[in-house]
Structure 1
Amino acid sequence: MYFTEEHNLFRESFREFLQKEVVPHIDKWEETGHIERFIWEKFGEMGYFGLTYPEQYGGLGLDFFYTVIFLEELQRVNSGGFAAAMWAHNYLAMTHLNAEGDERIKEKYLSASISGEMIGCLCVTEPFCGSDVAAMRTTAVKKGDKYIINGSKTFITNGVYSDYLVVAAKTAPELGNKGMSMFVIDRDTKGVSATKLNKLGWRASDTGEIAFDNVEIPAENLMGEEGKGFPYIMQHFASERLIMGINAHARAEFALEYAMDYMKEREAFGRSIDKFQALRHIIAQRVSEVEMAKTFNYTVSKRLSENEYVVKEASMSKLLSTKIADETIYDCLQMLGGYGYIEEYPMARLLRDSRLGPIGGGTSQILKEIIAKMVIDKKEYKAAAR
């Protein structure tokens, strides 16, 4: 229904690429917390960062289901951190460049991001605000032909080793969320500093806390209209939440495949453990839930690709898919017994990496309130005007 022969061929080739070029390095990157530069360049050479972006900047202009495949296959390398680094660059930072950046910004930053020459990060979350985006304190004060940025951001994927930062800051703090704007800032700009965070999971990716101390940037680094930052962010949150929902169903599928293969080989009391009803029924339940999540996510992906504003459905996707993934991986680890707790097997890392799902990109509690406002209070969220 959703995937053509061309999609399937892309999936095969991308899976081969990941197994050959990425998987051999994953354990080292998990250990060091640093993804080496060469792999970004290889992704760029292969066109993987440009799947859905315009051809004039080096992209391929393909449909959203190539993104779905990109996300699903990244989950199979068993490094949530590596996957996050790739999609945070590709679908968080670059999405804003493409949507709000002017021609100069696209030529300088988007083209280099597609080629893998530059790495980007999106800086929205702050230490004292979390999911409350409107409460951010970072400011951008205009002085002549410059803006002066002051404040801090935290939990930023690619926040330490990226080349540029897409930053939300308040240009008119007195206006609340109507006084927020978006900027692009070069990493080596004076006054920008980053501290690497030590995380439970996603250990291959560099997650940072970033400080802006009287950072001067050209006024032309404003993206889109001044004061429109909040609706820009909200608009892209829909795709981010759907991305995290797709990630969740894909890693749960990977866990189930591994667990079922293990269960065929592991014997107890004279037979393989996939013959024990107590275990078979757990797997049946989890496979059913993951299949339901995946089918829903594909439907929402289709609507998103047709430019529908799917904020409610994307929020539902992330809320339920990440919960299902956590519970599924917990049960899959149990199927491996003591080996599930050993780092040489994939489940321990999968369990740690999966736990961020209900937190990042809007906590499950926030998503429930957003959904409640839409279905109970009949609140309507609208796309930012172009």
Structure 2
Amino acid sequence: MTAVAAIGASERVADCTDRFQTFLDQEVAPIEEELAQQGAGTASRPQFDELGRMHPAVWEARRQVQRRAGALGLYAPHNSVSAGGRGFNRVEMHHVEEFVYRRSGLGLGLAALAWTEGPNPAIEHCSPTMREQYLQPLIAGEITAAFCNTEPSVGSDVLAMSTHATRDSDDWIINGKKAWITNSHFADVLQVVAVTEPGARTRSLSMFLVDANAPGVTRGRDLPTMMADGLTGTLEFNDVRVPAENVVGEIGDGFALAMSWINWRRLCRGGMCAGWGAWLLERALDYTQQRTSGGEPIAAQQAVQHMLANMDADIYQARATSLVAQAELDELGPFAIPMHSDAPRLISLVKVINDEAFFRVADTAVQVRGAMGLMQDSPEEKLFRVARNLRIPAGTSEIQRNGIARGLLKRRAA
């Protein structure tokens, strides 16, 4: 094992990945086989209902995997022990995420590890009542969530959002619209970021936990994206009343909590891209040794060898960046509030380097296969679309470069 590969590869990581392998083989595989017989599509290529949403059978198969993973303590190892997770740090989670993405490919096994619909670092700041009502069931995989930050006209500039919450005695009344929300169609609880003190800059926002079926909450239309997953949509809040105990953290903490959620997703890019990248490279190696041209495998051609080498270089460099940066972040506290001044730069480095390296890997994986790589919903074509998508959510590549530059300038000024 190389020095970089060994970073954070603790005994409990080995135990977790061993348990994941058993779980994927013994519990996920039968669910996947059963789903394949229903004619509802697959985890990566679901059919849709009449409203354009993920087919109920595919959604339920995902939910079975999540609930079973939660029951085994595999679903949310990133959450703290006090919240019911396993307290894995970011480097440990990189190894777990990389393992699951590499072994699952585009299969149903990806649902076994909490994604945007699962528990996250921000929600741990909720009240004791909300821990019992929402956090513990989320960690157990019994319910799902949606993070409601982006609006129809507001993306990266979160301080420009218009969704607002006004105090009414001990309650808060929320009004506004959110868009591009993953899991908006199915979520049980919504993490809603809203303006509570206009003009207070980073203290202007607060985060609320809202029952997705509460009066005044409307699940809007599906927004069909290049991901073609039937999971992205809009939400509208019309005089939605929530009690004070549903506030996450304190009033005014919304920006910091939203960034905690966003930074969690940014850091998960490391394991995701390393795992999927390795999976694509393995497929490319197999294909180039089997596909022949002029009577010999195309792997013998220097042009093809260079493509394979480029894939390997991108995967290795991005993976090394992730492990080294996250090791530094584990020392600083990746989700501390307030954040260490060096943390935003490191987080942005992980995201932009992985997003852009994985895009090159996926693009080359398509190129290696020639015309076959263009087949719709082939693993290579699907992951090419995923890779293109990754460069926008949780902060565009341009926003990451802004953050990196700010970090460099702050260090120079200091």
**TM-score, normalisation: structure 2:** 0.84
Please tell me the residue identity of whatever aligns with 1:317. V
Structure-2 residue corresponding to 1:71: 97
Structure-2 residue corresponding to 1:4: 10
Tell me the alpha carbon deviations over residues 326-379 of structure 1, each in whole angstroms, 9 at most, x when there is no partner: 111111111112211224631111111111111010001111112122223559
Specify whether residues 65 and 102 from structure 1 end up closer, same or farther in structure 2 by C-alpha distance, changes over 3 A only: same
Q: Does structure 1 residue 31 correspond to structure 2 residue 46?
A: yes
How far the C-alpha of 1:289 sits from its partner, in A, is 1.9
Q: Does structure 1 residue 59 correspond to structure 2 residue 73?
A: no
How far the C-alpha of 1:82 sits from its partner, in A, is 8.1
Which structure 1 residue ranges, 4+ long, deviate > 6 Å from structure 2?
A: none
Q: 2:298 aligns with which of 273, 287, 297?
A: 273
Structure-2 residue corresponding to 1:190: 215
**Preserved CA contact (<8 Å) 2:352 2:400:** yes
Q: 2:364 aligns with which of 326, 331, 336?
A: 331
Tell me the alpha carbon deviations over residues 83-140 of structure 1, each in whole angstroms, 9 at most, x when there is no partner: 48931133xx532221x21211112211111111111111111111111111111100
**Preserved CA contact (<8 Å) 2:84 2:136:** yes
Using the TM superposition, name which of 321-330 and 239-248 deviates more: 239-248
Secondary structure of the 2:219 match is strand
**Preserved CA contact (<8 Å) 1:40 1:116:** yes
Please tell me the residue identity of whatever aligns with 1:254. W
Tell me the alpha carbon deviations over residues 56-79 of structure 1, each in whole angstroms, 9 at most, x when there is no partner: 543333443442234223433344
Tell me the alpha carbon deviations over residues 288-319 of structure 1, each in whole angstroms, 9 at most, x when there is no partner: 12101101101122223334442111101111
Distance 1:280 1:334 in 2: 12
**Preserved CA contact (<8 Å) 1:94 1:120:** no
Structure-2 residue corresponding to 1:97: 123
Secondary structure of the 2:120 match is helix
Distance 1:210 1:379 in 2: 43
Specify whether residues 136 and 259 from structure 1 end up closer, same or farther in structure 2 by C-alpha distance, changes over 3 A only: same
Q: Does structure 1 residue 302 correspond to structure 2 residue 358?
A: no
Structure-1 residue corresponding to 2:23: 17
Q: Does structure 1 residue 139 correspond to structure 2 residue 167?
A: no
Q: Does structure 1 residue 340 correspond to structure 2 residue 373?
A: yes
Which runs of no fewer than 5 residues in structure 2 stay unpaired?
1-5, 48-53, 334-339
Equivalences for residues 346-361 of structure 1 within 5 A: 346-361=379-394
Distance 2:145 2:42 in 1: 22
Secondary structure of the 1:225 match is coil
Distance 2:259 2:107 in 1: 24
**Preserved CA contact (<8 Å) 1:81 1:204:** no
**Preserved CA contact (<8 Å) 2:127 2:246:** no
Q: Does structure 1 residue 217 correspond to structure 2 residue 224?
A: no
Please tell me the residue identity of whatever aligns with 1:289. D
Distance 2:301 2:293 in 1: 10
Specify whether residues 168 and 82 from structure 1 end up closer, same or farther in structure 2 by C-alpha distance, changes over 3 A only: farther
RMSD, matched Cα:
2.5
**TM-score, normalisation: structure 1:** 0.90
Distance 1:356 1:232 in 2: 24
Structure-2 residue corresponding to 1:88: 116
Distance 2:309 2:80 in 1: 42
